[in-house]
């Protein structure tokens, strides 16, 4: 169907309004009303239109945004370095393109990656000073998050004091707070007995549980944490790779994923993807994809960032498990 300029502009505006509504429901209310896959499709439609018609692109478009502004009910935390999103790949060809772009930029023939699970929870930043947990914050809009330190201190797998040797003067770690599917079932049973809110999925339950004003409520929720990156580590200079950083975090007592693997080139990434795809249902928690990250830290630095994501990492999404109910009604509206 050929659309007139007015119809195209109308479609772009409708998509922006819809995505903004869904973002509010997901990031602010922790209560999405459409499956993630449908959201991703709408997002891709808008991205393609904004690329094709840059004259109608806008700085405040959902395409440019990370998360949502922090809730005013929490003290704001300015992130020392932005907490960004990840570029998404939905098919193998996107990974081949990603790897080719990176090899050209880094001027190398082959790249070593670390392949990780993309657990479906919410990102947090943990700051440790002299080994002591001093601050925990949500991602918020990427530059400013919510101070959830008191709540995070109730999550038993997150150490309040790092252990081991060579404790850095300062350490900022990022990772995912999440809930297992069984944890959700048990929580919902308790919620039903108390006639309280039932959560649609572990991600919403985890996000809502972490962002409680009363830390006693968070303490009763079965929250888990996995660390997946180090943003700053003072005084430890001999670590040269992301994989080694993860091992160092484990030595400090931080939980890391047992599923992270070093892989070589595109073929290594895609083999990991296939393996995780078959394992997915056996995992006790939800994942929505896997993430490939350049392992060498110097290469990461060289690759740098685009506006809302690092160039040295990409999320490879798994096929949706939820049933699409809303699919792109917007197509019939213009
Ligand atoms: P993202 O899915 O694009 O990726 C970034 C996030 O991945 C990080 O913030 C972190 O929380 C997480 N992550 C998990 N494992 C990781 C690992 N090993 N390494 C690094 N990061 C890891 O996140 P986003 O920017 O919040 O995303 C948008 C996604 O959220 C969409 O793709 C969509 O599926 C979903 N969403 C859904 C709705 C809805 O209404 N259903 C609305 C908004 C967003």
190 is in an annotated binding site: no
Residue with the smallest CA separation from ligand 1 atom 33 is 36
Q: Maximum Cα–Cα distance for the chain, whole Å?
A: 66
Q: How far is the CA of 85 from the centre of ligand 1 (A)?
A: 7
> Over the range 129-147, which residues count as b (16 or more CB within 10 Å of their CB) and which as e?
eebebebbbbbbbbbbbbb
CB count within 10 Å of CB 324 equals: 12
Residue with the smallest CA separation from ligand 1 atom 30 is 36
Residue 195 CB contacts under 8 Å (≥ 6 apart), including other chains: none
Question: Which fold, 76-317?
Answer: D-amino Acid Aminotransferase; Chain A, domain 1 (3.30.470)
The region of weakest confidence among 70-74, 93-97, 119-123 is: 70-74
Which residues sit with their C-beta closer than 6 Å to ligand 1?
22-23, 25-26, 32, 34, 36, 39-40, 66-67, 85-86, 88, 116, 118-119, 122-123, 139, 176, 228, 291, 315
Q: Tell me what ipTM this predicted complex has.
A: 0.96
Residue with the smallest CA separation from ligand 1 atom 26 is 67
Can you give the pLDDT at residue 326? 47
Q: How far is the CA of 71 from the centre of ligand 1 (A)?
A: 19
196 is in an annotated binding site: no
317 is in an annotated binding site: yes
What is residue 312's DSSP assignment? T
pLDDT category at 79 given cuts 50, 70, 90 is very high
Atom of ligand 1 nearest to the CA of 84: 9
What is residue 44's DSSP assignment? H
Gap between the Cα atoms of 177 and 233, Å rounded:
21
What is residue 50's DSSP assignment? H
Task: Calculate ∠ Cα 316-318-321, nearest 5°.
Answer: 155
The region of weakest confidence among 75-84, 127-136, 261-270, 318-327 is: 318-327
Asked if 42 and 15 count as a contact pair (C-beta separation under 8 A), the reply is yes
Gap between the Cα atoms of 137 and 115, Å rounded:
25
Task: Calculate ∠ Cα 183-72-202, nearest 5°.
Answer: 15
Domain segments of the chain: what residues? 5-65, 76-317
pLDDT category at 327 given cuts 50, 70, 90 is very low
Q: How far is the CA of 266 from the centre of ligand 1 (A)?
A: 22
Higher pLDDT, 56 or 331: 56
Q: How far is the CA of 194 from the centre of ligand 1 (A)?
A: 31
40 is in an annotated binding site: yes
Q: How far is the CA of 324 from the centre of ligand 1 (A)?
A: 18
Asked if 167 and 130 count as a contact pair (C-beta separation under 8 A), the reply is yes
139 is in an annotated binding site: yes
- Average pLDDT for 187-215: 95
What pTM value is reported for the model? 0.93
Atom of ligand 1 nearest to the CA of 67: 26
Supply 193's token pair.
């007995």
Supply 289's token pair.
């994809």
What is residue 101's DSSP assignment? H
Measured in Å, how far apart are the chain's first and last C-alpha atoms?
10
Residue with the smallest CA separation from ligand 1 atom 13 is 118
Gap between the Cα atoms of 166 and 317, Å rounded:
37
Could you list the active site residues?
118
Atom of ligand 1 nearest to the CA of 87: 3
Superfamily in which the 5-65 domain is placed by CATH: Helix hairpin bin (1.10.287.610)
> Over the range 274-287, which residues count as b (16 or more CB within 10 Å of their CB) and which as e?
eebeeebeeeebbb
């Amino acid at each position: 169907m050929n659309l007139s300029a007015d119809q195209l502009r109308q479609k772009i505006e409708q998509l922006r309004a819809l995505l903004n509504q869904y973002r509010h429901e997901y990031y602010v209310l922790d209560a999405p009303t459409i499956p993630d896959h449908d959201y991703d499709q709408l997002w891709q439609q808008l991205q393609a239109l904004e690329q094709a018609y840059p004259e109608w692109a806008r700085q405040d478009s959902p395409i440019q945004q990370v998360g949502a502004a922090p809730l005013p009910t929490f003290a704001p935390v300015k992130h020392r370095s932005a907490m960004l999103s990840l570029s998404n790949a939905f098919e193998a060809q996107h990974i081949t393109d990603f790897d080719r772009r990176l090899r050209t930029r880094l001027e190398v023939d082959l790249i070593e990656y670390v392949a990780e699970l993309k657990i479906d929870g919410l990102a947090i930043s943990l700051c440790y000073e002299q080994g002591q947990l001093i601050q925990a914050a949500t991602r918020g809009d990427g530059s400013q998050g919510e101070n959830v330190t008191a709540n995070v201190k109730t999550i038993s797998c997150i150490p309040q004091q790092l252990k081991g040797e060579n404790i850095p003067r300062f350490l900022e770690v990022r990772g995912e707070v999440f809930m297992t599917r069984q944890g959700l079932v048990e929580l919902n049973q308790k919620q039903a007995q108390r006639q309280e809110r039932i959560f649609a999925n572990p991600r919403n339950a985890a996000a809502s549980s972490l962002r409680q004003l009363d830390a006693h409520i968070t303490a009763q929720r079965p929250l888990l944490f996995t660390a997946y990156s180090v943003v700053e580590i003072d005084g430890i200079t001999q670590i040269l790779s992301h994989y080694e950083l993860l091992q160092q975090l484990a030595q400090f007592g931080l939980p890391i994923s047992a599923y992270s693997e070093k892989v070589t080139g595109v073929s290594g990434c895609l083999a990991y993807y296939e393996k995780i795809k078959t394992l997915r249902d056996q995992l006790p928690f939800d994942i929505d994809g896997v993430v490939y990250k350049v392992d060498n830290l110097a290469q990461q630095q060289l690759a740098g960032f685009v506006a809302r994501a690092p160039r040295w990492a990409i999320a490879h999404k798994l096929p949706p498990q939820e049933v699409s109910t809303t699919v792109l009604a917007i197509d019939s509206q213009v």
